[in-house]
């Protein structure tokens, strides 16, 4: 079940953890505490996303999803995915299992790339906070250009892969 990717990543993290222990035991203990708190914070969302993926792949006919954001739907599908990615409020690390499930159910690489990139870079929910901290001009520019970036990334991904 363990893929090569998972093995490599776990090895790297294990090395980092050992190095951290050797350098400072207390700090490492604190790091593990931070990790534990993150687990408590993210755990429910992770389960929700896994259940949604199961519902999605189990109950929704594949040709529906493929029809909306599959390769036949072209640019329109990319725009739909970019829009969904911009408005959804999901922890960024969960973007990838979601993206994988979309790919599995027949979405095009272009749409998935647009979805992942907007999900992480464009946060419509955060806009009020961003305006407060950085100003309207900065916020509009950053979100606007991120949206453009997501669309270009999507098209290039579709052409390359």
Partner 1 sequence: MNSASPAPNQDALQKKPWHKRIKWDWTLLAVLAPLTLVLSLVFQDQGRRAGKVTWEFFLEMLVIFPAVLIIMGLFAVWVSREKVVKYLGEGSGIRGLVLSMLLGALPTGPLYIAFPMGAMLLKKGARVANVMAFLSAWACIKIPQELMEFQFMGWKFALTRLSITIVLVGILCLIAEWIYNRIPEKADKSKSAGQT
Using CB under 8 A, which residues numbered 69 to 88 contact partner 1?
none
Nearest Cα to Cα of residue 117 among 79, 151, 76: 151
CB 82 within 8 A of CB 74: no
Q: How far is the CB of 6 from partner 1 (least distance, A)?
A: 4
113 is a site residue for partner 1 (CB under 8 A)? yes
Q: Which of 34, 64, 72, 87 binds partner 1 (CB under 8 A)?
A: 34
- CA separation for the pair 91, 42 (Å, rounded): 8
Strand, helix or coil at 89?
coil
**121-160 residues near partner 1, rule: CB under 8 A:** 121, 123, 125-126, 129-138, 141-142, 145-146, 148-149, 152-153, 156-157, 160
Minimum distance, C-beta of residue 104 to partner 1, in the bound complex (Å): 8
Looking at 18, 45, 63, 64, which residue binds partner 1 (CB under 8 A)?
45
Q: How far apart are the two ends of the chain, measured CA to CA in Å?
A: 26
E-state strands within the chain: none
């Amino acid at each position: 079940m363990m893929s090569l990717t998972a093995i490599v990543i776990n090895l790297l993290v294990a090395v980092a953890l050992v190095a951290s222990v050797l350098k400072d035991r207390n700090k490492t203990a604190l790091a593990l505490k931070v990790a534990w708190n993150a687990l408590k914070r993210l755990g429910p969302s992770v389960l929700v996303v896994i259940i949604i993926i199961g519902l999605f792949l189990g109950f929704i006919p594949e040709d529906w999803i493929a029809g909306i954001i599959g390769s036949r739907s072209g640019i329109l599908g990319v725009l739909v995915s970019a829009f969904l990615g911009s408005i959804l409020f999901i922890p960024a690390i969960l973007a990838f299992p979601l993206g994988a499930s979309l790919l599995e159910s027949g979405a095009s690489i272009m749409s998935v790339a647009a979805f992942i990139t907007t999900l992480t870079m464009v946060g419509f929910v955060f806009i009020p906070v961003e305006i407060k901290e950085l100003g309207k001009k900065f916020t509009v520019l950053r979100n606007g250009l991120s949206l453009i970036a997501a669309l270009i990334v999507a098209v290039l991904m579709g052409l390359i892969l």
